[in-house]
A and B are shown apart, each in its own frame.
Chain A
């Protein structure tokens, strides 16, 4: 019985190590892999939206910091291309 648990432990450890190595390759290094897990993964979500779904609305702030508007207000009878991102 102990041997089974030992082999399960070794297999899990091996899988974790392989996953970390793969993540390191993807992220650009072991430090980047750790930072990816700590800072990026908690905020990354696939989401449930599909083509054909109603586009969610959201309130946005203009660059002047004073005006606000909604995403839906930007539709003017034409398709609306949304580009999400940040400077860094």
Chain B
């Protein structure tokens, strides 16, 4: 998560682990079989926690983590399934609402929001970002306040 590494001093990050998107007993993707990501849809919290822990350990995932309850309350509140990005501002208001994943899930838009607020963080090996955040019809970005 390069965005996390680049902006963790300026913004808080929280990963919310939700209902599985492609479990083995539902719509399993061939790519998951190839990557050995094969889990059935959890039927209880301990199963969901086990998969979440597997994920964080496998990728040494550094981002703060929380798991949605089995009623999927967070996922429903944010219409977040299967994946989605949000930025909440300091006043607790939604400042950015990403499109519904997978097709409109665009971390570059979050980076653009953070860059507009705190400046771009460039890396020597980075290629110019493709895509124009303005083209995504579902995404809405609040203009951050200019800071001197």
Chain A residues engaging chain B, CB cutoff 8 angstroms: 32, 35-36, 38-40, 43-63, 65, 69, 71-72, 74-88
Bound CA–CA A75/B68 (angstroms) = 18
Asked if B52 and A87 sit within 8 Å, CB to CB, the answer is: yes
Main secondary structure of the interface of B (DSSP, over half): mixed
> Mask for B85-125, Cβ within 8 A of A = 1, else 0?
11111101111110011000000001000100100000000
Cβ of B93: which chain A residues have Cβ within 8 Å of it? 51-55
> Mask for B1-43, Cβ within 8 A of A = 1, else 0?
0011001001111111111111100111100100001110000
Cβ of B45: which chain A residues have Cβ within 8 Å of it? 61, 65
Chain B residues engaging chain A, CB cutoff 8 angstroms: 3-4, 7, 10-23, 26-29, 32, 37-39, 45-46, 49, 51-56, 63-69, 73-90, 92-97, 100-101, 110, 114, 117, 138, 140-142
Asked if B95 and A35 sit within 8 Å, CB to CB, the answer is: no
Closest partner residue, chain B, to A85 (CB atom):
B83
Main secondary structure of the interface of A (DSSP, over half): loop
Known A72-B92, A83-B16; further 9 A-B contacts with Cβ < 8 A: A51-B140, A51-B142, A61-B49, A63-B65, A81-B86, A81-B114, A82-B85, A83-B15, A87-B39
Could you tell me the distance in whole angstroms from the C-beta of B108 to the nearest C-beta in chain A?
13
